[in-house]
Amino acid sequence: QVQVVESGGGLVQAGGSLKLSCTASGLTFDNYAMGWFRQAPGKEREGVSCISRLGGSTTYVNSVKGRFTISRDNAKKTLYLQMNNLQPEDTAVYYCAVGRRNYCSGSSQEPNDYTYWGQGTQVTVSS
């Protein structure tokens, strides 16, 4: 049984930083690309970032480029999202997801490209 669990969310002031983590069990972690999505109240789920199975390729939504960094440790079966210079518009529930393929399909991430999802972790940025 595949389990995906996020952690690391919280409340931070604008300009602050958080690092999200995601562990995935029940699958061969390094066979799959991994992604981060977020969903703010009243908005659709948005693809934030993706990393290929060995970490050699990454993509980011334009709004987080230069502020967020995705990485993975395949030995620990863990995905990370380092978020710097957080802004109130980054407030959302952040989800980790397992890709259907071992690469990131294009510059924009679609939920249908992913199979297994975590329960989400809340990130709140105050102004």
pLDDT digits (tens, 9 = 90+) for 15-68: 999 999 999 999 999 999 999 999 999 999 999 999 999 999 999 999 999 999
pLDDT at 96: 98
The Cα 41–Cα 127 span in angstroms is 17
Judged by DSSP in three states, 99 sits in strand
